[in-house]
């Protein structure tokens, strides 16, 4: 039987007869993959291409009816994969990358074919060629990993999550998506916590996508719905009591100059308090307010994005830009740091008269703390979606960092 990845990943459809036909065809294709003939030479199959069934990168919002439909199709495909025994385990003992010839590449090829990242026409061989390289990069992108084509611990961990667990992850997240898809309005901001990513959505498409830093496992970013109503340019930072207790007091015990070095003042009922008058061996300082002056070293850097909520969280800039390049971006105390935040703020302020990008940038340079009320508050949603689909045959998966999917195998960041 002649096979193609498009044929393999085609959705089984809603009708029972169509579903049965899809299952039979998927069975034929998986059997062909697992029993595929070897191909010993490099680059002899010039027609081996990755899937054309759907794009990994898209302007489609995660919370859209189209996403729900794609996830339903993905579930049907994964049910077929599970019914045929899933995919092979790839030995996680070596650094596999372009140019390597190794027996472990053979199960890697089969694994990538079953999930639809590598065309079956690429054949089975120990050669890590350009086709395998492209397939690995596609797999990495779908799993929120750096798409460098190199098999390391995180890629192996994602690759060796079993097909039944991935199916369950899709089913769990379909419910989350179905509850909100199509209900968020024409213009909104969505923070997806497991993906550590932000979407600015307008008229049914993503107009801006930002990398984010979200809360640590022990200081989680909450699920919430609100409206962004205020931008503060050059904000003061008021340290939450939890940070005073967990971070600032221990730092002052080690370095009595910590507050002065970081432009942080202690404010009491009668004004500013001299840090030398406080016993730092106790937690007495937690009853006071700690406020950091605006500036480059301010914890929120240039801007703070405010919205009413009971968790006292917000979105903001950060002086620690290097954190955005980290693989696991779960490093905050619950608030959300935004990469390229000035682009997002410009979009948010679009309908607020007098606040062009030029004026915004000039205000940052002034160093003065300046609150700006939005003329039209913009809805914001902090959500938790660890699996979704961006097109037919394209399933996206992320680490279940807060253990909300109920399967320990998906909490990779805690295991590695």
**pLDDT on residue 209:** 96
Residue 332 has pLDDT above 70, yes or no: yes
Whether 2 has a pLDDT exceeding 50, the answer reads no
pLDDT in the model for residue 17? 39
The answer to whether 115 and 90 have CB atoms below 8 angstroms apart is no
CB 137 within 8 A of CB 144: no
pLDDT band for position 222 (50/70/90)?
Answer: very high
* Residue 301 pLDDT class (50, 70, 90 cuts): confident
Q: Is 210 a catalytic residue?
A: no
Cα–Cα–Cα angle for 245, 250, 254, nearest 5°? 160
pLDDT of residue 27: 53
Q: Is the pLDDT of residue 295 over 60?
A: yes
13-69 pLDDT tens trace: 333 334 444 444 455 556 655 555 554 444 444 333 444 445 677 899 999 999 999
Per-residue DSSP letters for 77-145?
A: HHHHHHHTT--PPPP-SS-B-TT-B-TTHHHHHHHHHHTTSS-GGG-B-SB--HHHHHHHHHHHHHTTS
**Nearest CA to 386 among 412, 367, 405?**
405
pLDDT of residue 36: 54
Residue 24 makes CB contacts below 8 A (sequence gap 6+) with none
Q: Which tokens hold the place of 333?
A: 């105390």
Provide the pairing of β-strand 330-332 with 271-273: unpaired
Residue 406 vs residue 219, higher pLDDT? 219
Selection from 200, 190, 182 nearest residue 350 by Cα: 200
381 is catalytic: no
- Dig out the tokens for 247 from the structure: 């971070």
Dihedral sign for Cα 298, 303, 308, 309, please. negative
* Active-site residue identified among 143, 210, 311, 316: 316
Distance CA 358, CA 340 (A): 16
Q: What is the predicted pLDDT for the residue at 34?
A: 59
Tell me the percentage of the chain whose pLDDT exceeds 70: 85
Which candidate in 143, 210, 335, 381 is catalytic? Answer: 335
pLDDT digits (tens, 9 = 90+) for 186-210: 999 999 999 999 999 999 999 999 9
Please give the mean pLDDT across all residues of the chain: 86
Mean pLDDT value of segment 244-262: 94
Record the tokens describing residue 165, joined without a space: 């667990």
Q: What is the mean pLDDT of residues 293-314?
A: 91
pLDDT value, residue 8: 33
What are the tens digits of pLDDT across the range 352-409?
999 999 999 999 999 999 999 999 999 999 999 999 999 888 999 999 999 999 877 7
Over residues 221-234, the mean pLDDT reads 97
Average pLDDT score over residue span 108-136 = 95
């Amino acid at each position: 039987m002649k096979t193609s990845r498009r044929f393999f990943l085609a959705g089984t459809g809603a009708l029972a007869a169509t579903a049965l036909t899809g299952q039979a065809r998927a069975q034929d294709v998986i059997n062909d993959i697992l029993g595929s003939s070897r191909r010993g030479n490099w680059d002899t199959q010039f027609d081996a291409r990755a899937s054309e069934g759907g794009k990994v990168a898209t302007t489609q919002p995660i919370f859209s009816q189209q996403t729900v439909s794609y996830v339903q199709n993905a579930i049907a495909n994964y049910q077929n994969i599970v019914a045929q025994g899933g995919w092979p385990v790839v030995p996680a003992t070596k650094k596999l990358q372009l140019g390597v010839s190794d027996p472990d590449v053979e199960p890697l090829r089969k694994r990538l074919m079953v999930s639809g990242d590598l065309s079956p026409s690429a054949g089975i061989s120990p050669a890590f060629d350009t086709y395998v390289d492209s397939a690995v990069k596609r797999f990495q992108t779908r799993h929120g990993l750096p798409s460098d084509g190199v098999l390391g611990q995180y890629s192996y961990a994602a690759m060796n999550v079993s097909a039944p667990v991935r199916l369950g992850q899709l089913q769990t997240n379909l419910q989350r998506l179905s509850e909100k898809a199509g209900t968020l309005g024409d213009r909104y901001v969505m923070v997806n916590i497991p993906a550590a990513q932000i979407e600015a959505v307008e008229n049914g498409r993503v107009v801006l996508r930002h990398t984010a830093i979200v809360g640590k496992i022990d200081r989680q970013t909450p699920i919430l719905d609100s409206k962004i109503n205020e931008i503060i340019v050059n904000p003061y930072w008021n340290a939450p009591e939890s940070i005073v207790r967990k971070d600032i007091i221990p730092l002052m015990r080690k370095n009595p100059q910590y507050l002065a070095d970081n432009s942080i003042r202690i404010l009491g009922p009668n004004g500013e308090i001299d840090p030398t008058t406080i016993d730092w061996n106790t937690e007495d300082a937690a009853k006071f307010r700690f406020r950091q002056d605006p500036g480059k070293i301010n914890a929120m850097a240039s801007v703070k994005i405010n919205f009413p909520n009971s968790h006292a969280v917000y979105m903001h800039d950060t002086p620690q830009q290097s954190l955005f390049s980290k693989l696991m971006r779960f490093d905050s105390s619950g608030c959300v740091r935004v990469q390229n935040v000035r682009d997002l703020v410009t979009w948010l302020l679009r309908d607020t008269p007098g606040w062009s990008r030029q004026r915004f940038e000039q205000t940052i340079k002034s160093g003065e703390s300046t609150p700006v009320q939005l003329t039209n508050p913009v809805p914001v949603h902090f959500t938790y979606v660890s699996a979704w689909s961006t097109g037919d045959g394209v399933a996206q998966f992320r680490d279940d960092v807060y253990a909300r999917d109920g399967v320990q195998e998906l909490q990779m960041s805690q295991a590695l």
